[in-house]
A and B are shown apart, each in its own frame.
Chain A
Amino acid sequence: MSILLAVVAMIPFLWMISTSLKSRGALMSIPIEWIPDEPTLDAYQEVFSRFPFMRTIGNSLLVSVSFTLITLISASMAAFAFAKIRFRGSDVILKLYLAMMMIPTQVTMIPLFIIMNRLGLIDSYASVILPSIFKPFAVFMLVQQMKSIPNDYLDAARVDGAGIFHVYGRIALPLCAPTLATLAVTTFMESWNDYLWPLLMLNDRNKMTLPIALSTLNGQYNTEYNVLMAGSLISMIPIIIIYLCAQKQFKNGLMAGGIKG
């Protein structure tokens, strides 16, 4: 039973591999070839020759890594202030953050498109990276974590003459490492697979991230499934490698993440 469900779940994945190894002619043979009679890497060559796909992979890496780093830095700084510094209105502002999480991205995307357009940021990496500076969900998770740090640690450092930035960077941040790691993988995945916002921002083939490049291929080579499947497979490899290396963080991120698929 267990094996049956697993096999069914695997079929699309296996189908993708098999199709990506077919020649154009083999796509339309009847009866269909479950395993290609003459496997070929033509489709992979096509992907790279018809599209700057190497560059696309680089773009995706650049965007996702920067997006993740900025999210972690900005959110952990804000979380430190909310959890460890007493200031007026801190609770109200935190509630405002929570409220912002309820607003679907579709509500803000049209004005944001116009703002980006006015700033001349369309077709720039910045347009897809900058929104990472405000991720209320990451702030929440880190506030929880920071609150659990005993103040004795932080006060002791203060007594020793450490500045507040030192306390944040050298003491609070390392103590949040598990949460930061979890957030890092979930944020990276979210950014890596994001579709709607980059679709609006990136029209230049040289700037596109993987999902956008794939959707462009989908438009151009509508039924050349060997090319589409080769592209899909390539796009999955990096994230699968990351998953295999960081399974624990993905598991922890599961309960926390969620809203955006």
Chain B
Amino acid sequence: MRKKKQKHIRGQDGLLTASPFLLPSFIGLAVFSLLPIVVSFLMSLTDWNGLDRITDPGFLSEHFIGLENYKVILGTGEFWQVLGNTLEYIVLYIPLMLACSLGVAYLLSRERRGVTAFRIIYYIPVLTSWVAASMIWKSMLSPQYGAVNNILAVFGIEGPGWLLDENWAMPAIVLVSVWKDMGFFGLILLSGMVGINKSYYEAAALDGAGAWQRFWKITLPLMTPAIFYVLIVSLINAFQLFPQIMIMTDGGPNGATQVMVERIYKYGFRYYRMGYAAAFSWLLFIIIMLCTWLQMKGQKKWVNYDS
């Protein structure tokens, strides 16, 4: 007798049976996701200040302004400056983070003794909250009394003013982010690295390839799926940069570290321009989607899935 492959429990069908299990999740979906999404979009079409009740009659006729918020945001220099700041962050952060986490992964994969200890060391920053990490680095980067400039001084380098300097504030934000993220992404890359078939290395060693060559010709190409994943995640995170900014610079000096989420927060909850902030948040969503889509499209060119 042949058994038919059965996917579900026998004799238990229908939405009625499923509903008690789905109820909590559905309420959450409706209240914390669907409803806010719809309201957020409608809000983005208004000049609402957060005070008048949305449910009041005549609310829409009074506050509806169509796509005006979007036009204003895209037409003001601020948005493009904010985007430029984010881009500066990405350009500095992604290569540095990738290099450091590859380093972490490589060293962990070769370490024989004390691997657990090293793992813990790299994981401590990951466990630290962004708030604590940012405060630690704010103290480290204090121009006169901080660790960084005093270490640089040992090598005869006079460190910059970091968070107080328009040109160095964003690099400072990058430093804390790389420090906090390299263990996390390093361990993800490590799991991609240990999955590589040993016979490739043995063959390469027979052909006389050195360690450096083996890394570039075998390890790196075969790790591209893990690297791709890290890039997708880190880019999404980069656009949502927030706690570091709030703790370390509050967007300053002179707007040099203003970023999308910081703007959304300030417009919504400091200036009470809720409609404007909502429109800003939808632009953030579009940018993230666009970037992720471009990366997905581009992956065929360089990601290698046949290890």
A binds B: yes
| Cβ-defined contact, B184 with A112, below 8 A | no
| Cβ-defined contact, B145 with A111, below 8 A | no
Secondary structure class of chain A's binding surface, majority of residues: helix
A211 partner, pick from B15, B130, B139, beta carbons under 8 A: B130
Instruction: Give the contacts of A13-59 with B (CB-CB under 8 A).
Output: 13, 15-16, 19, 27-28, 30-32
Q: How far is the CA of A147 from the CA of B219 in the complex (A)?
A: 34
Q: How far is the CA of A168 from the CA of B21 in the complex (A)?
A: 9
Q: From known contacts A78-B25, A158-B12, infer whether A106 and B132 are also in contact, taking CB-CB under 8 Å.
A: no
Which residue of B has the minimal Cβ distance to A130? B32
Instruction: Give the contacts of A229-249 with B (CB-CB under 8 A).
Output: 229, 231-232, 235-236, 239-240, 243-244, 247
| Cβ-defined contact, B132 with A77, below 8 A | no
| Cβ-defined contact, A232 with B288, below 8 A | no
Tell me whether B89 is interfacial, beta carbon within 8 Å: no
Q: From known contacts A1-B107, A115-B35, A134-B25, infer whether A259 and B17 are also in contact, taking CB-CB under 8 Å.
A: no
Render A177-202 as a binary contact track against B, CB cut-off 8 A, 1 for contact: 00000000000010011011000100
Render B125-144 as a binary contact track against A, CB cut-off 8 A, 1 for contact: 10111111101111110101
Q: Which residues of chain A have C-beta atoms less than 8 A from B138's C-beta? A: 218, 225, 228
Tell me whether A214 is interfacial, beta carbon within 8 Å: yes
Q: Which residues of chain B have C-beta atoms less than 8 A from A73's C-beta? A: 24
Q: Which residues of chain A have C-beta atoms less than 8 A from B50's C-beta? A: 114
Tell me whether B80 is interfacial, beta carbon within 8 Å: no
Q: How far is the CA of A178 from the CA of B202 in the complex (A)?
A: 35
Q: Which residues of chain B have C-beta atoms less than 8 A from A220's C-beta? A: none
| Cβ-defined contact, B139 with A106, below 8 A | no
B139 partner, pick from A19, A74, A103, beta carbons under 8 A: A19
Q: How far is the CA of A154 from the CA of B125 in the complex (A)?
A: 43
Closest-CB distance, B181 to chain A (whole angstroms) = 7
| Cβ-defined contact, B127 with A164, below 8 A | no
| Cβ-defined contact, B18 with A85, below 8 A | yes
Q: Which residues of chain A have C-beta atoms less than 8 A from B140's C-beta? A: 11-12, 15
Instruction: Give the contacts of B213-270 with A (CB-CB under 8 A).
Output: 229, 233, 236-237, 240, 242-243, 246-247, 260-261, 264-265, 268-269
